[in-house]
Structure 1
């Protein structure tokens, strides 16, 4: 039952070419920067990445795009504060984009974790994002069918985890991480501290260990925004 691994490289070892990878975080909050950089070091190609945005600067997801790992990104905000990597890849035709409204993105991920294959939402009705999707009328209002969104792997970031995989999060860093953990076949987590079973009070557990497959301790995780202000480039 011990799900802890010793190194970041060992944590991301199962991720290979062509995988679909969910990556937690809302901007830099809750983004597993160290796991992302370990994945860049491993170098799998043709990845589909699911995240709230398409990265900033030259670290994290943006660095994945610059290094040619990503062939498709599914997100809500591809152009955020410093989207140079996304802009260049998209204009060059090397990166496919699927835009999903933020609430719909969260619900598609949550639905996959809950075993719900499809649901209806009024969001996007009458827009280009609804093109080709089934539409139904309920109580006189039109709704668009959206499918669940699953992944082969999820990379997430927590605060405290125990060796059985139970996790807590730090403040707003919770965001997409818990639902992504439920929607992936294999969830890989980095946490600031790994504790023994029982160290986390049961009522404080946010992500139960049943949803976590690998966990690595990163005692001093870096924040994306700070790295960008410092002019960091990875690798």
Structure 2
């Protein structure tokens, strides 16, 4: 299998895209750390992976806390060995129109997306440098490049992740560490309010495919960026958005 016994950590893996990514890696033989603030849901994902013959562990972590991120990375390394593939995917939305957005809505979204991506990057990079290889994949969004009504916080966080990704790719390539991002567009629990509220929702009817993706349609992009087929790719954004970038 493609990722036989590789150690893969996926944050925000208890539901949505993160869950689909964790399950896809496990199906390809990886030892998967299902990292989420909701350990009860993470345990359900682990049970499903085990039932399918895969290997997984549940790791409770508030990714907005550097201390919890560092503890989670140590827990994974103790159980499975150093993390070889990091998928920094955890996210939240706190939609509000610009003039009505409160400070906590701004700070919470940047903390869970941008701060957490930085914390996890630092938590895994020393082991990857020592191993001489590693893959780091961030979850961004087409919103990072096009903006989104009612989501200045989310767009800013996702754009910040792209800056973080590109800078890390420049620094870490010499150590055999590839750093990329996926910009997905999917129907998940997290995006439901934005997708359904007419104040915020984009015109999906204008999209070439006229629909949102399901999480399992997004997951293969992460496996591609973690696998041998992308061995000469770093600092790139892989858009899996049904062509939404064409029409916004």
| TM-score bin, normalised by smaller chain | 0.3 to 0.5
TM-score by length of 2: 0.37
Q: Say which structure is richer in helix.
A: 2
Q: Say which structure is richer in strand.
A: 1
TM-score by length of 1: 0.38
Higher relative contact order, chain-length normalized (CA < 8 Å, sep 6+)? 1
